[in-house]
């Protein structure tokens, strides 16, 4: 069922081994599949779950990029106004 994403030579991979970038990404994707249990899904279900995860990740990243800096600046200004050194 989920054996098609498990390469046969990855059974005993040491993460400290010298791996190429492509091998490292495949190993990380395999770990992600194990943690999220998507290795049990059919290939089309796995791709759908991956697309949903990446969509949510992209939306959260964009929201953090757009909305977090103004709120952080506001927070820093409030903290600066409330600090004891500002009242001297």
Using one digit for the tens of pLDDT, what is the confidence trace for 74-85?
A: 888 888 877 766
pLDDT at 86 over 60: no
The pTM (predicted TM-score) of the whole model is 0.61
- What the block records as the tokens of 22 is 């492509």
pLDDT per residue as tens digits for the range 15-60: 667 778 888 888 889 999 999 999 999 999 999 999 999 999 999 9
Q: How many domains does the chain have?
A: 1
Query: Smallest Cα–Cα separation from 10: which of 24, 25, 27?
Result: 27
Neighbours of 82 (CB within 10 A): 9
Domain extent, residue 47, equals 3-87
């Amino acid at each position: 069922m989920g054996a098609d994403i498990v390469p046969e030579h990855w059974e005993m991979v040491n993460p400290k081994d010298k791996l190429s970038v492509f091998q490292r990404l495949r190993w990380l994707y395999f770990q992600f599949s194990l943690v999220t249990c998507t290795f049990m899904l059919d290939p089309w279900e796995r791709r759908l779950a991956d697309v949903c995860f990446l969509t949510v990740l992209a939306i959260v990243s964009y929201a953090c990029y757009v909305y977090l800096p103004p709120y952080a600046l506001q927070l820093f200004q409030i903290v600066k106004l409330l600090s004891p050194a500002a009242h001297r």
